[in-house]
Amino acid sequence: MFGLQMIFLQCNCLIVKILIWSLCFAALCHAWMPDSSSKLINNFKSVSSISFPGNATFPDHFIVLNQDANSIIVGGRNRIYNLSIYDFHERKEGRIDWPSSDAHGQLCILKGKTEDDCQNYIRILYHTEPGKLVICGTNSYKPLCRTYAFKDGKYLVEKEVEGIGLCPYNPEHNSTSVYHNGQLFSATVADFSGGDPLIYREPQRTELSDLKQLNAPNFVSSLQYDDYIFFFYRETAVEYMNCGKVIYSRVARVCKDDKGGPHQSRDRWTSFLKARLNCSIPGEYPFYFDEIQSTSELVEGKYNSEENNRIIYGVLTTPINAIGGSAICAYRMDDILRVFEGSFKHQESINSNWLPVPENMVPTPRPGQCVRDSRILPDKNVNFIKTHSLMEEAVPAFFGKPILVRVSFQYRFTAITVHAQVKTINNQYFDVLYIGTDDGKVLKAVNVPNGDTAKAIVISENTVLPHGAAVKQLKLSDYSSYGKVVVVGRDEVRLATLNHCASITRCSECVELQDPHCAWDAKQNSCVSIDIVTSYRFLIQDVLRGDGSKCWSPQKDKKTVIKNKKDNTAIEKEIIANSIDEEGTDSTDPLVRTGLDDPECDPVSENSVGGCAVRQQLVIYTAGTLHIVVVVVSIVGLFLGFIAGYLFSQKFHSSTQYPEAPFIEQHNHLERLGANQTGYLTPRANKAVNLVVNVSGSSPPPKKDNLEVGKDLNISSDGTLQKIKKTYI
Ligand SMILES: *[C@@H]1O[C@H](CO)[C@@H](O)[C@H](O)[C@H]1NC(C)=O
Ligand SMILES: *[C@@H]1O[C@H](CO)[C@@H](O)[C@H](O)[C@H]1NC(C)=O
Ligand SMILES: *[C@@H]1O[C@H](CO)[C@@H](O)[C@H](O)[C@H]1NC(C)=O
Ligand SMILES: *[C@@H]1O[C@H](CO)[C@@H](O)[C@H](O)[C@H]1NC(C)=O
């Protein structure tokens, strides 16, 4: 054992790399990796985007405040900007300048904040009526709101009110708000130090410093649905009874028309309830992604079921000091509502376990239901909900598990937005997801429900923000032009075009991309973006399976029947896919297309059969054999590496110096794991490798590591690490 370790310590970094790679491949080829690898990888230079830098010399802490059909409003430092969504040109007439007053600025500096903190970062904007808007800003750690009216081509201040409880003090604070029916519901902090989090709608708020209601929350998003306002956030879990602190993701709700409780509880919610969000890989010990970072808007579709489902996509990650695992889970509004109808959770005394409340102990009317006038609710009802705001059941993920999992040493997911229900040429609907990372990438993926499960296929991985800046927010800019997405970083906003159709030159690649935005035009021999085509007539697409063989054996799988000869009738009618019209087609009908305009590969003609078969085989090889080849090559490489390393170690036994540069690289990677800071390859770490994930340890957050991009190891959260550890010992 010792000998092996010596060899290991002395062999160079390459071998380590090969070892880790092959372990990852061996462990993961059959697990998640093939599902989650990206089909296209575009670096910063090859992504087309327009940057809006705002105040180029100072941090802006940008945030998208509002959006309409033609413009997008972003809030920054002392200013809001109105940008055209087509070319990101700033509409100067829509700009509002609002710096803090000198008095507020100086007071802020006196309180020990920095010059950059002591600015007015605009965080909230809503329209109260046409031509009138309210904006709120941090105003040098003294939140303030203003009403503006648009008159004679410019915005004029109408009134100014305090913004405490509505707008955060710190521009970095994770707050959210939703304006509904003349009222602003906000989730933020109401004090300078950030110690008083609340969910607030004048005059009701959550209980002050009641850790059972809110416990150091980071709010992520909010929306109105049905009779309720929902809030998504993560917070320290009160119900977690083991030692250490754990963060859980939550969804909370209040009734829109909550009027507060009787008597002295007028200013408290009588309907605040919350539940845990479950995003986990199922198993005997489910692996949890517990920290929600972002949600999409509410979207609606069938997702392989009979009835329509309203769902919201969430980005959830592992804790910051654990392995960088990120997942996308979808939640159905119906499931969320159902959990709030279920049992409440409670803790009898401070040291007892959290258990479901027996049904007979729940007062009637059921606490948390929306009532006409909450001020006349019985006291026992109001007191019950104050102490029982947590639901017993966690909201399950739609499809029972994440639709996408990524494990990376380089990045985590930070943001998500969705282009809902993009229609394919044969009338199927798929959600296209855009997912931001903390190192400036945006992944484009498609959610492909199949049977009773769903899986997101990553179409492309694009570096949109330079220098590894984190993506803070993503918004779809323009539903009618495919692939346009607004990417918000701290210091710039970019309008990126993630439409890859035109860069694809072969039919099979176009179809295998599974991008609902793209289809192969067999007439023009190009991969086209469906938003700009005028006819579906010669298009080939297969989002569900990505079966590239459709390009040369279309007769079997895809027969496009042109029903309607008139050119300008609805496109949908022009084509009926084979599934609907399998038999009734006559292949001699000139309107039935049997294949590409490629005589070589017409399966009907005799001499071309060979050609088609060969091409199809090629596809099978690339798809099926690649992983095996990689594994075999890695294992062979591993063996050769070990032998080489062993021989070297015998030869240069006295040498204790290792090459510096690769060593540092390796070291950095382990830092991202949150492992022992000394690194396990140093000579003094001459013991079992300390590579166990340290979830609750106090090691500092991982550093940005952009030394090398190619080494993105997708490793399984449990099994693989154990294997690495064992091998090292
Ligand atoms: C950036 O902000 C500073 C102070 O906040 C201001 O003096 C400067 O004019 C701004 N620059 C631009 C380009 O707006
Ligand atoms: C942004 O500018 C456009 C064009 O001037 C205008 O139509 C739109 O209402 C503006 N949006 C806001 C929120 O001011
Ligand atoms: C807000 O969320 C981001 C991303 O998760 C995190 O890095 C940051 O620390 C949070 N801000 C605060 C003030 O906690
Ligand atoms: C979360 O979901 C998984 C898989 O469906 C399940 O095994 C697990 O028990 C659930 N956890 C909680 C806390 O409900």
Which residue has 């050119």 as its token pair?
Answer: 567
Check if the beta carbon of residue 118 is closer than 8 Å to that of residue 140: yes
Q: How far is CA 329 from the centre of its chain?
A: 9
Secondary structure letter of residue 182 according to DSSP: T
| Strands of 309-317's sheet in order across | 291-301, 309-317, 325-332, 404-407
Nearest to 550 by CA among 580, 504, 502, 508: 508
Q: What pLDDT does residue 678 have?
A: 32
| Ligand 3 neighbour 177 (Cβ under 6 A) | no
Nearest to 180 by CA among 253, 122, 74: 253
Sign of the dihedral defined by the CA atoms of residues 193, 195, 199, 203, in that order: negative
| Ligand 4 neighbour 394 (Cβ under 6 A) | yes
Task: Specify if 330 maps to a domain.
Answer: no
| Ligand 2 neighbour 73 (Cβ under 6 A) | yes
* Best probe residue, ligand 1, of 57, 118, 119 (max atoms within 8 Å of C-beta): 57
Distance 492 CA to ligand 4 centre (A): 39
Task: Specify if 559 maps to a domain.
Answer: no
| Ligand 3 neighbour 437 (Cβ under 6 A) | no
Task: Specify if 286 maps to a domain.
Answer: no
Q: How far is CA 593 from the centre of its chain?
A: 41
Nearest CA to ligand 4 atom 12: 394
CA dist list (Å): 117 to 56, 186, 469:
17, 22, 20
Distance 492 CA to ligand 2 centre (A): 20
Check if the beta carbon of residue 298 is closer than 8 Å to that of residue 223: yes
Phi-psi region of 510 (alpha: psi -120 to 50; beta: other; left: phi over 0): alpha
Question: Residue type at 651?
Answer: K
Task: Count how many domains the chain has.
Answer: 1
Nearest to 487 by CA among 438, 531, 520: 438
Mean pLDDT, consecutive 10-residue segments, the chain of 729 residues?
39 39 40 64 94 94 94 96 94 94 96 96 95 95 96 92 96 96 96 95 93 96 96 95 90 96 91 97 95 97 91 96 94 97 92 91 92 92 93 96 93 96 94 97 94 89 96 90 94 96 94 95 94 91 91 54 40 36 34 36 34 33 48 66 67 45 37 34 33 37 37 40 41
Task: Specify if 706 maps to a domain.
Answer: yes
| Residues in the chain, total | 729
Question: Rounded CA gap, 665 and 678, in Å?
Answer: 13
Structural domain for 706, as ranges: 678-726
Distance 31 CA to ligand 1 centre (A): 51
Q: What pLDDT does residue 480 have?
A: 82
Neighbouring-strand partners of residue 638 = none
Q: What pLDDT does residue 653 have?
A: 55
Nearest to 17 by CA among 686, 729, 724: 724
* Best probe residue, ligand 3, of 214, 218, 220 (max atoms within 8 Å of C-beta): 218
| Ligand 3 neighbour 212 (Cβ under 6 A) | no
Q: What pLDDT does residue 651 have?
A: 60
| Ligand 2 neighbour 94 (Cβ under 6 A) | yes
Question: Residue type at 201?
Answer: R
Task: Specify if 707 maps to a domain.
Answer: yes
Task: Specify if 699 maps to a domain.
Answer: yes
Nearest CA to ligand 4 atom 6: 282
Question: Residue type at 363?
Answer: P
Long-range contacts, stretch 11-14, CB < 8 angstroms, 24+ apart: 11/641, 11/642, 11/644, 11/645, 11/646, 11/648, 11/649, 12/645, 12/648, 12/658, 12/659, 12/662, 13/659, 13/662, 13/663, 13/665, 13/666, 14/641, 14/662
Distance 448 CA to ligand 4 centre (A): 23
| Ligand 1 neighbour 120 (Cβ under 6 A) | no
Q: Counting Cβ atoms within 10 Å, is residue 627 exposed (0-12), middle (13-18) or buried (19+)?
A: middle
